[in-house]
Amino acid sequence: MKRLLVLAALALTACTPREAAPPQQAQAADEWTNPGGDAGKTHHSALGDISPANVARLGLAWEADLGTNRVLEATPVVAGGVMYTSGVAGRAYAFDAVSGKELWRFEPEVDMQINRTVCCDQANRGVALANGKVFVAALDAQLYALDAKTGKVLWKADTRDGSGRGINSTGAPEVAGDVVVIGNGGAEYDVRGYVSAFGLADGELKWRFHTVPRDPKLGAQDHPDLEAAAKTWDPDSRWDIGGGGTPWDAINYDPETGLVIIGTGNGGPYHTVKRSPKGGDQLYLSSLVALDARTGRVKWHYQETPADNWDFTATQPMILTRMTVAGEERPVVLHAPKNGFLYVLDRRDGKLLSARPIVRQNWTKGIDPATGKPIPNPEAADWSHGPKIIFPGTPGARNWHPASFDPATGTYFAPVQDMGNLILMPPADPPFQKNGINTAATLFFTPDLQTSLAILPPPLVARIKALPAYQEVLRNPGTSELRAIDPLTGRTRWAVPMGGWQDRGGVLSTASGLVFQGNLAGQLRVFDARTGKLLKAIETGTSILAAPMTYKIGGVQYVAVMAAWGGGGYPYVPRYSAAYQRGNRGRILVFRLDGGKVPQPDLLPEPQVAPPAPAQLPGVTPAVLAQGQALFYSVGCALCHSNQHRSITPDLRRMQPETHAAFDDIVLKGQRVVLGMPRWDDLLTPADSKAIHAWLITEQGRVRQEETEKRRRGIALDAPSAAILSNY
């Protein structure tokens, strides 16, 4: 069988040896002034007090409990002896960076109805600092400028575009000269992506750039650089769904060129036949786009995945640095998006210098050296007429978890996933859901594929097993690794296995030759940057996804990391994680040489048998139960409610009598909106709510019976059982 990994990647240019590293931009050292550390967001530090020779002495300096069991993804910043960071839904904090004393905290009043359009938890990826202000974006797309000394709100800007679509914000703002830039999320819903720039002083909107055109029937585009983009879309595209392209992360200001480079998101719905039926590249989906920071005009773009069919976002963190390519020193962008390539582009004009595959991929046959565009592989990857197994999968070869780059050795350190997913069209074309999921796709990840086949119809299973990629899944369903990679060749210098495909913690590297990364098992691990040898592992008892950072005050070097499980698929807590064993106590952990032990949360108690289910609702038939199950998965209930043991969101198979009694009020009237449970009366009728409730009552009865039998036989109640249908 033809191998799925395109090993014969094209050497777009020849590379010169690196006997002497070219001059680089200033690296982070005593201070760490933005989430990426330096202007290029290399997540690399010039500090070296903590080294391979003494890292065994690393221990806890201080911790801060943030009082949450939801995800923490930000990398803190440190300036003037103060640590600033963000947390759930856009909360912001300031701490004395030496003692850990809390100086202030800010909790925005977030309209939690926004949870309807948040695919991947109430995340926030950091703050920006400038002119005595701390900038943070709340989940409901409100941008705040806070006084850095007091946390007082100096101004607030509504970043929504007035469309009424399902707009949210989870990324860190980016200061770009006299403006602060922020993007938006929601491509799986009904959003048309954009970035906005606001004046640092007063929050006045300076410019806005939508990443996809609007319906040409409305007249001229609302940005001059979208006129050409509109020609790459079918005029009869599904403009009502928005198109996607949301730049929810990966916004970098390049002070050398004056450009703001943004990474854009996937298209919506997922397949182009549903989105732009006559095809076209569909700019600016899944692209890097360079905008003039003063005007918002497009200076260059590079589309990594034209006509994206596979949720291959280009929103993964990019790194701005300098490299010698073909004998010439160039300012470059390093970018490894979801689609499986590691790109090197000239950041002055977007010229492609190198594109190397770092995982198995079958969506393309390679990169055309003449055009810089991927060569289509429809026989393997077009799922418009039947199921296909696509490599990489929708979680991506890389995702939001930051990589680091050491300019002295030219090494890119990153968590990398080598896995795929089964993707297929739903049996019927789902109707448009305003502020609802509009992917028109069903997904199963290859590490779970064998279990998932058991819940699919036999004729469909036969088609899946006949796919050439199915044999590849049997050989290798998927891996997750921390890797050291040469960006210009794609060669892996070393790799360290991680716990599972959800285990993808961000990375910090230092000039002393160390690489720091947390994992879901709750360890902060430190590796030798040359060899990948594990030098130190600190047990914290809390799962870690965020990237560590480092700073130095009073002659002491510190390493800090935020710890808590969450993100995409957050209700499905991995069984190998600290979150599954000890809960999800969100904390900031700060380390120094000769520090102490980390206090670990207690182990969670053994699960109890599900409570008795109430009497079934009147008039319930098998058809009603089937309708309830279908709605639970298609509308979006399953996105938040995994119905598994030790999920961080409620298991609806274990509802108490008072919850059953209030079910319709919760679902249709918003009784618990303030707790994060949105109302659904715009999409669900009373009959729909009854059907979902009836199915959950049946599930609760089934689970109670199953668990009672397990308890009688001495089997652990949380032993794995059914497969999970995933739609994120």
CB neighbourhood size of 48 (10 A): 13
Look at residue 631 and give its three-state secondary structure: helix
On whether the CB atoms of residues 629 and 697 are closer than 8 A, the answer is: no
- Alpha-carbon gap, residue 716 to 685, rounded angstroms: 39
- Return the closest-CA partner of residue 566 out of 549, 583, 581: 583
Look at residue 537 and give its three-state secondary structure: strand
DSSP 429-474: -PPP-TTS-----EEEEGGGHHHHGGGS-HHHHHHHHTSHHHHHHH
CB under 8 Å to 143, separation ≥6 — which residues?
A: 135, 136, 137, 156, 157, 158, 159, 169, 173, 180, 182, 198, 203
- DSSP bridge partners of 346: 332
Q: Which of 254, 281, 308, 311 is catalytic?
A: 311
AA letter at 386: G
Helix 686-713 with 622-634: angle, nearest 10 deg: 90
Verify whether residue 311 is a known catalytic residue: yes
Tokens read off for 393: 């999968």
Q: Mapped to the 3 state alphabet, what secondary structure does 503-531 carry?
A: CCCCEEEECCCEEEEECCCCEEEEEECCC
- Alpha-carbon gap, residue 582 to 236, rounded angstroms: 52
Residue pointed to by tokens 């380390």: 591
- Reply yes or no: is the peptide bond before residue 618 cis, omega within 30 of 0: no
Look at residue 30 and give its three-state secondary structure: coil
- Alpha-carbon gap, residue 509 to 515, rounded angstroms: 4
Kindly report the backbone phi and psi dihedral angles of residue 697, in degrees, each rounded to the nearest multiple of 5, phi listed first: -65, -45
In the sheet that holds 318-325, the strands lie side by side as 318-325, 328-335, 341-346, 352-357
495: part of which helix (H) or strand (E)? strand 492-497
Tokens read off for 14: 């020849």
Tokens read off for 217: 């029937």
- Return the closest-CA partner of residue 443 out of 572, 310, 568, 640: 310
Tokens read off for 650: 């409620």
The percent helix, strand, coil of the chain (3-state, each to 5) is 15, 30, 55
- DSSP bridge partners of 263: 288
On whether the CB atoms of residues 52 and 549 are closer than 8 A, the answer is: no
CB under 8 Å to 562, separation ≥6 — which residues?
A: 72, 73, 74, 75, 76, 85, 87, 544, 546, 586, 587, 588, 589
- Residues labelled catalytic: 311
